[in-house]
Amino acid sequence: MKSKRKILIIFGVFVFLAFIGFLLCTPIRQNAKLRSLENEVADISLPIDIEQVAIKSAIGDSGGNGDYSTLRVVLAVKTELDKTELNETIKNMGLSFSKHYQNSDNIPIFYVTHCENSTFQSSRDFTLVFDELKTISDYSKYYFIEFVE
Q: How do the pLDDT tens digits run along the chain, 149 residues long?
A: 567 777 777 666 666 655 665 555 566 677 778 888 888 888 888 999 999 999 998 887 655 555 556 788 899 999 999 999 999 998 888 887 765 555 556 678 888 999 999 999 877 678 889 999 999 999 999 999 998 88
pTM to 2 decimal places? 0.78
Q: How far apart are CA 50 and CA 73, in angstroms?
A: 17
What are the two backbone dihedrals, phi and then psi, of residue 102, each rounded to the nearest 5 degrees? -135, 155
**Interacting residues of 94 by C-beta distance below 8 A, sequence separation 6+:** none
Q: How far apart are CA 21 and CA 116, in angstroms?
A: 43
Would you kindly state where each structural domain of the chain is located, as residue ranges? 40-148
**Interacting residues of 36 by C-beta distance below 8 A, sequence separation 6+:** 99, 100
